Amino acid sequence: MIIIVKQDTSKEKITSLIHSLEEQNFKTHLSEGENTTIIGLVGDTSLVDIDSLKARDIVEDVRRVSEPYKKANRKFHTDDTIVEVLGKKIGGGHFAVMAGPCSVESEPQILEVAESVMQSGATFLRGGAFKPRTSPYAFQGLEKYGIDFLLECKKKYGIPIVTEIMGISDIPLFEDVDIIQVGARNMQNFRLLKELGKLKQPILLKRGLANTIEELLMSAEYIMSGGNENVILCERGIRTFETYTRNTFDVSAIPMLKRLSHLPVIADPSHAAGLDWMVEPLAKAAIAAGADGLMIEVHNDPPHALSDGKQSLTPTRFSEVMKSLKAYMQLESKTLE
Amino acid sequence: MIIIVKQDTSKEKITSLIHSLEEQNFKTHLSEGENTTIIGLVGDTSLVDIDSLKARDIVEDVRRVSEPYKKANRKFHTDDTIVEVLGKKIGGGHFAVMAGPCSVESEPQILEVAESVMQSGATFLRGGAFKPRTSPYAFQGLEKYGIDFLLECKKKYGIPIVTEIMGISDIPLFEDVDIIQVGARNMQNFRLLKELGKLKQPILLKRGLANTIEELLMSAEYIMSGGNENVILCERGIRTFETYTRNTFDVSAIPMLKRLSHLPVIADPSHAAGLDWMVEPLAKAAIAAGADGLMIEVHNDPPHALSDGKQSLTPTRFSEVMKSLKAYMQLESKTLE
Amino acid sequence: MIIIVKQDTSKEKITSLIHSLEEQNFKTHLSEGENTTIIGLVGDTSLVDIDSLKARDIVEDVRRVSEPYKKANRKFHTDDTIVEVLGKKIGGGHFAVMAGPCSVESEPQILEVAESVMQSGATFLRGGAFKPRTSPYAFQGLEKYGIDFLLECKKKYGIPIVTEIMGISDIPLFEDVDIIQVGARNMQNFRLLKELGKLKQPILLKRGLANTIEELLMSAEYIMSGGNENVILCERGIRTFETYTRNTFDVSAIPMLKRLSHLPVIADPSHAAGLDWMVEPLAKAAIAAGADGLMIEVHNDPPHALSDGKQSLTPTRFSEVMKSLKAYMQLESKTLE
Amino acid sequence: MIIIVKQDTSKEKITSLIHSLEEQNFKTHLSEGENTTIIGLVGDTSLVDIDSLKARDIVEDVRRVSEPYKKANRKFHTDDTIVEVLGKKIGGGHFAVMAGPCSVESEPQILEVAESVMQSGATFLRGGAFKPRTSPYAFQGLEKYGIDFLLECKKKYGIPIVTEIMGISDIPLFEDVDIIQVGARNMQNFRLLKELGKLKQPILLKRGLANTIEELLMSAEYIMSGGNENVILCERGIRTFETYTRNTFDVSAIPMLKRLSHLPVIADPSHAAGLDWMVEPLAKAAIAAGADGLMIEVHNDPPHALSDGKQSLTPTRFSEVMKSLKAYMQLESKTLE
């Protein structure tokens, strides 16, 4: 950690700051330049309160040099984390395809979609029971019934299920859910993250629309520091000035996250662009960039979907897309199973 | 609402779409251009499911022409909403100054700050009991005790208090809190918004770091549609590429929100830039742009603050800033009381 | 084009506006909704002055429905444009790899790099003679001598060359340059674009750091409307809030540009992230997303490069990367020749 | 300057890097932490080639601690620069109002506008002769004739004139122009900046749509390092995800630029939001935040303006706005003369 001292600060004040830092068991190094004086701080700085340092009147700025996350950091855990659910693996060369409708709409609908996506090679069934919608007047999901219908699919076809949680009070409903998803808008709902840290199930954590890669890793750290180290990171597009696509799919986040962290990283090409025809090229790009899995929206009847129909593939189209994706998985030596 | 039809769509398909829209009681107008055919949709389109329309195979795009929010919309409520708490008013010419520390740290601390900010003219005491922090290792607030200490100030000095809520389960603790704040990271925590819509207290809703003005109004709509129409909007900086300031204070959001909505709009210059010396110019700019109030961080000892010390003013500095702000309030014919 | 009329506008004023539009030979359609009245405008609206329409006192907003670009628009030119230079083709299934140093630094340097990148399969030699640098104190390029050294490579090895132009007065120096590059910072240097529209050589147009896909196509339109229809578009990263990567590589711009336009689209993974180790995954992602070519920085001695060494590959590393890229080209049925 | 060394680098390599830095006459300080080793670099680092440092294989990252600009830096020039033209001053307590149409359209038009804005208190006449337009099909300005008409106003009324330059070859036409404006899209047209550095006239440099505060200062440095130290900086809105306003007016850039630099800073509230009714609140906010001047679009007949009518004020409206702005100037102790 680097402390930049304000210009024309007296020697006494600098010495006093150094003493107070050394009392906290940090080693310090002073560099006095012509125009700038800096103090290097050595030790475990992940617990330093950067805010109170910045507030000292002789301090111009404080900059971190090492990452503020530890459990999610590859420096302290070099091997890839492999998340395993009902025999399906994610990470370390194992590729996952999570497919299904944006919203669970009825039992026959989800059973039909489940069967068809499994036939095309999907390894997980996704479907929204609780839906975060911008408008209070829009369809908000089947809630408990949605989860029941997903569990019905799991029972019938043996496919593990992934679905989104929106609040702590719903945790009991998720007891048999295989992977619990945290949506982009809840990425920094720290209360929820803390509670999920106490659970056993893997957590699929989506990057917020305007959250940095570091913030995503800090949110993973929240869950992991609670004891649940099975976190799957998901890039799903960030908010930029571009309007032709709903979000800007930050494909470079994939190799960056893989380098910084040992956690599996998947991509959601359906939400990233919001356009059905763009799912295939973005899915291929994600695999090429090193993703460990994909989350793809598939709906039996997109024009009558209760949410996000524009970005959903039909089962037929999904089957074609999967064929082309498998060639990419092979090139990257990923196994889908 | 405008539906743009894909190029080279057959007349039959267009007619069929129009019929289905008219069955839903919309009036339609067809405009056939050389290269583009559009269908205008007339009626109450706030309930139209724009997603399923977009998913139709002959539809290239759908664009809203009227706003998707109703209760927050000035078109249907031309007079300014005035929120009143313990005799203090916000909106319609009444200006509010909410001052206090980022975090409540102890009873003596908050009592000392409360007394001093009141003397300088603050009309509300702010202070965080539950703190949303990016790092799980950072100070998370005194929680219940923090609220107790704030209530102690209210009892002793009669000042109304504002503090942030982070989860539904904490609502009982907020029974005597005068204004309940929703932080930027929870602006789209729709579950929480719905519950707050059932309460009586005014809600101070902060704009998310990457949320549009329209989304902020839609989140207000969530609360209002539940029955609680006392919502105060707060601009506190958005995320951009600029790094010299922590966020970019979107001053133009203030006149825009005042034009689109009847709700009071306040600004938080402390969080916007994250720099103590910039609080005064941004606060003045906010008043000049039409704000109905300000939220300003004041700490008795910024270098030892447990959070956000860099952006806090000392009580002495706050007193000076208030003097210069009062001249601005006068120019804008706002009364601080 | 849609004109949204302000609430409570009198019938007379609306009629008057409609008459003035019909005098300009547009057909109009009036849709009167409960809260909103809109006028649809039909005809060739690419020449409509949207600004003066918006300035009318009864107009709330004006929105385009069809694209403002024509020559670059795939709607009016369905086949892929194939740019051909010295027997090398770009577009329509033909893939181009442009490799070389950020800056040309000396004749031996560029000759050495040229030979090695050709051996690895590069089809074009890139190298900067004129360098746009943020600081006036940084190396600004060898200018005329840089172009001479590139031409020496072309003469010796027969490889076509690509280099950046920074000003109109340098055009005579580019007479024998095969592809003239316009850098991101000059994407809206309209004066320069107009002059390039009068030349015969293909223009490689890089997307500006904060320019939309539509603006990139409008800049291509500037060049094409001058008579030069050989424009190659290049995605090279946009500016966002993320700081771990220098820019955010907008991979979705590739399929979007290919859909909206018939022009070839290439990607620059070196500038996008600014990190050598990320060139390979981003290059693979670009091919997977449908790119027609790549521009990759290769330097014989990155630590001693006079610019952008951090993002340059060594010739050895480039050779390895090319091997893995060729498998991707094959999967996408692209020929590199 | 701080060099962060890669984890697990050998002592020998670190020592070798330190030697090579000391040979360049830098003093170094080594701080060896548990997980991170950093080297502090002391001396005049404004000339250090940060790129080649970053490219060294043992270097993880390099961070500047001091600013890369010198001539524009307040640290080396504590007093405010006051730019003076024809007796009108900008900076150091002197406020300037530059008003006029987006485009000069005819001699009678500009004469009429000039007379009316002077009566309302404008100290400079602005008007575009060369217009940078996104579309090649839009009105591009009267060019030479536009400048002639502006000079006619200067001759008749004695008002100094400000107009935008788009290319080096037009410099001779600007001989009698009082302040030469560089538009946002040319902020990093380094060729143009260098040439303007050789001129005597003050340069009004607008911030690019996606350029940081630091980049704006570096572009000022380009002009100043050429010998022309009369640079006026202009904030005119940056590009963000918000769509209700054309750009986001970064009001915090004003106090930040004033703190970092001694150069005068003005604001352009007309372009910032693109909406006539928002000019007044943003102009007031700019003065409140410390601006040294304003640039405001005024058109005698906005609905028939050839560009940007939506954001232009009528002369009558401008006169009203000026009255309210004068009260703000007085509060900030600025003199308009």
Pick among D137, D196, D243, D300 to test the C interface (most C CBs inside 10 A): D137
Q: What is each CA distance from B8 to A25, B13, B15, C74, C76, in whole angstroms?
A: 73, 11, 14, 14, 13
Q: According to the model, what pLDDT value does residue A184 have? A: 95
Interface check D129 vs B, CB under 8 A = no
Query: Which residue segments constitute the domains of chain A, with CATH numbers given?
Result: 2-63 (3.30.70.1140), 74-336 (3.20.20.70)
Residue in D244, D256, D284 closest to B288 by CB: D284
Per-residue pLDDT of chain C (337 residues; tens, 9 = 90+): 888 888 788 888 889 888 888 888 888 888 877 677 888 887 777 667 777 788 787 888 888 777 889 999 998 899 999 999 999 999 999 999 999 999 999 999 999 999 999 999 999 999 999 988 888 888 889 999 999 999 999 999 999 999 999 999 999 999 999 999 999 999 999 999 999 999 999 999 999 999 999 999 999 999 999 999 999 999 999 999 998 899 999 999 999 999 999 999 999 999 998 899 999 999 999 999 999 999 999 998 887 777 777 789 999 999 999 999 999 999 999 999 8
Q: What is each CA distance from B9 to B36, C9, C331, in whole angstroms?
A: 10, 35, 33
**Would you state the structure tokens that stand for residue D256, as one six-digit string?**
């930040």
Strands D203-206 and A179-182: unpaired
**Mean pLDDT, range D254-273, rounded to an integer:** 96
Lowest mean pLDDT among B117-131, B172-186, C65-79, D94-108: C65-79
Q: Which of residues 57-76 of C touch B (CB under 8 A)?
A: 63, 65-66, 75
Q: According to the model, what pLDDT value does residue B47 have? A: 67
With beta carbons under 8 A apart, name residues in chain B contacting A54. Answer: 309-310
With beta carbons under 8 A apart, name residues in chain A contacting D38. Answer: 2, 40, 65
Contact predicate D52/D146, CB 8 Å: no
Per-residue pLDDT of chain A (337 residues; tens, 9 = 90+): 888 888 788 888 889 888 888 888 888 888 877 677 888 887 777 667 777 788 787 888 888 877 889 999 998 899 999 999 999 999 999 999 999 999 999 999 999 999 999 999 999 999 999 988 888 888 889 999 999 999 999 999 999 999 999 999 999 999 999 999 999 999 999 999 999 999 999 999 999 999 999 999 999 999 999 999 999 999 999 999 998 898 999 999 999 999 999 999 999 999 998 899 999 999 999 999 999 999 999 998 887 777 777 789 999 999 999 999 999 999 999 999 8
Say what the ipTM of the complex is: 0.92
Q: What is each CA distance from B246 to B40, B128, B241, in whole angstroms?
A: 43, 20, 10
Q: What is each CA distance from B62 to B48, B283, C257, C273, D32, in whole angstroms?
A: 11, 40, 20, 34, 59
According to DSSP H, which parts of B159-262 are helical? 190-196, 213-225, 253-260
d(CA A281, CA A264) in angstroms, rounded, equals: 21
Whether residue B252 and residue D243 make contact (CB cut-off 8 A), yes or no, is no
Q: What is each CA distance from C114 to A158, B308, C104, C149, D241, in whole angstroms?
A: 57, 54, 11, 11, 42
**Would you state the structure tokens that stand for residue A263, as one six-digit string?**
């956690």
Interface check B328 vs D, CB under 8 A = yes
Residue in A240, A244, A288 closest to C256 by CB: A244
- Other residues' Cβ atoms within 10 Å of the Cβ of residue A146: 24
Q: What tens digit of pLDDT does each residue of D122-165 get?
A: 999 999 999 888 888 888 899 999 999 999 999 999 999 999 99
Q: According to the model, what pLDDT value does residue B109 have? A: 94
d(CA B54, CA B61) in angstroms, rounded, equals: 6
Q: What tens digit of pLDDT does each residue of C28-53 get?
A: 888 877 677 888 887 777 667 777 78
Interface check D286 vs B, CB under 8 A = yes
Q: According to the model, what pLDDT value does residue A31 have? A: 80
Pick among B13, B47, B51 to test the A interface (most A CBs inside 10 A): B51
Going by pLDDT thresholds of 50, 70 and 90, the confidence category of residue B57 is: confident
**Would you state the structure tokens that stand for residue C138, as one six-digit string?**
């940084």
Q: What is each CA distance from A275 to A192, A225, A281, B51, D106, in whole angstroms?
A: 30, 37, 11, 11, 47
Interface check B256 vs D, CB under 8 A = yes
Whether residue B249 and residue D252 make contact (CB cut-off 8 A), yes or no, is yes
Whether residue C4 and residue B241 make contact (CB cut-off 8 A), yes or no, is no
Residue A236 is given by DSSP the state: -
Strands D124-126 and D94-100: parallel
- Chains near C with 3+ CB pairs less than 8 A apart are A, B, D
With beta carbons under 8 A apart, name residues in chain A contacting D31. Answer: 27, 29, 40, 42
d(CA B100, CA B104) in angstroms, rounded, equals: 9
- Other residues' Cβ atoms within 10 Å of the Cβ of residue D123: 23
In this model, does residue B130 exceed pLDDT 80? yes
Q: Which of residues 19-38 of A touch D (CB under 8 A)?
A: 27, 29-36, 38
Interface check C182 vs A, CB under 8 A = no
Interface check B238 vs D, CB under 8 A = yes
Interface check A329 vs C, CB under 8 A = no
D59-97: string of b/e by CB count within 10 Å (b at 16+)? Answer: bbebeebbbbbbbbbbbeeeebbebebeebbbbeebbbb
d(CA A39, CA A59) in angstroms, rounded, equals: 10
Going by pLDDT thresholds of 50, 70 and 90, the confidence category of residue D22 is: confident
Tokens 């943020």 locate to: C134
Q: What tens digit of pLDDT does each residue of B172-216 get?
A: 999 999 999 999 999 999 999 999 999 999 999 999 999 999 999
Whether residue C210 and residue D208 make contact (CB cut-off 8 A), yes or no, is yes
CA distance B147 to chain A (A): 17
**Would you state the structure tokens that stand for residue B223, as one six-digit string?**
């609360």
Length of chain D: 337
d(CA B157, CA B125) in angstroms, rounded, equals: 10
Interface check A53 vs C, CB under 8 A = no
d(CA C291, CA C284) in angstroms, rounded, equals: 10
Closest CA to D204 of D276, D117, D294, D283: D294
Residue of B nearest to C30 (CA): B29
Whether residue A38 and residue D40 make contact (CB cut-off 8 A), yes or no, is yes
In this model, does residue B40 exceed pLDDT 90? no
Closest CA to C162 of C106, C201, C220, C115: C201
With beta carbons under 8 A apart, name residues in chain B contacting D218. Answer: none
Residue in B4, B32, B43 closest to C34 by CB: B43
Contacts of residue B74, defined as CB under 8 A and 6 or more positions apart, other chains included, come to B259, B260, B261, B262
- Chains near D with 3+ CB pairs less than 8 A apart are A, B, C
Give the largest Cα separation in chain B, rounded.
76
Q: What tens digit of pLDDT does each residue of D301-327 get?
A: 887 777 777 789 999 999 999 999 999
Going by pLDDT thresholds of 50, 70 and 90, the confidence category of residue B97 is: very high
**Would you state the structure tokens that stand for residue A90, as one six-digit string?**
């994610």
Residue C91: beta bridge partners? C94
Interface check B282 vs D, CB under 8 A = yes
Whether residue D36 and residue A65 make contact (CB cut-off 8 A), yes or no, is yes
Residue in B31, B75, B240 closest to C42 by CB: B31
More confidently predicted of C266 and D56: C266
Q: According to the model, what pLDDT value does residue C307 have? A: 73
| Dihedral sign computed on CA atoms, order C272, C276, C278, C282 | positive
Q: According to the model, what pLDDT value does residue D97 have? A: 98
CA distance D284 to chain B (A): 5
CA distance C199 to chain A (A): 31
d(CA A272, CA C81) in angstroms, rounded, equals: 28
Going by pLDDT thresholds of 50, 70 and 90, the confidence category of residue B236 is: very high
**Mean pLDDT, range D238-254, rounded to an integer:** 94
Residue in C252, C272, C331 closest to A327 by CB: C331
Max avg pLDDT among C53-57, D16-20, D214-218 = D214-218
Whether residue A248 and residue C240 make contact (CB cut-off 8 A), yes or no, is yes
Contact predicate C263/C204, CB 8 Å: no
Size of interface A-D (CB pairs under 8 A): 66
d(CA C96, CA C337) in angstroms, rounded, equals: 7
Interface check B248 vs A, CB under 8 A = no
Interface check C312 vs D, CB under 8 A = yes
With beta carbons under 8 A apart, name residues in chain D contacting B241. Answer: 210, 212, 238
In this model, does residue B25 exceed pLDDT 90? no
Whether residue B285 and residue D281 make contact (CB cut-off 8 A), yes or no, is no
Secondary structure in 3-state letters for chain C: CEEEECCCCCHHHHHHHHHHHHHCCCEEEEEECCCCEEEEEECCHHHCCHHHHHHCCCEEEEECCCCCCCCCEHHHCCCCCCEEECCEEEECCEEEEEEECCECCCHHHHHHHHHHHHHHCCCEEECECCCCCCCCCCCCCCCHHHHHHHHHHHHHHCCCEEEEECCHHHHHHHCCCCEEEECHHHCCCHHHHHHHCCCCCCEEEECCCCCCHHHHHHHHHHHHHCCCCCEEEEECCECCCCCCCCCECECCHHHHHHHHECCCEEECHHHHHCCHHHHHHHHHHHHHCCCCEEEEEECCCHHHCCCCHHHCECHHHHHHHHHHHHHHHHHCCCEEC
- Other residues' Cβ atoms within 10 Å of the Cβ of residue C10: 9
- Other residues' Cβ atoms within 10 Å of the Cβ of residue C214: 17
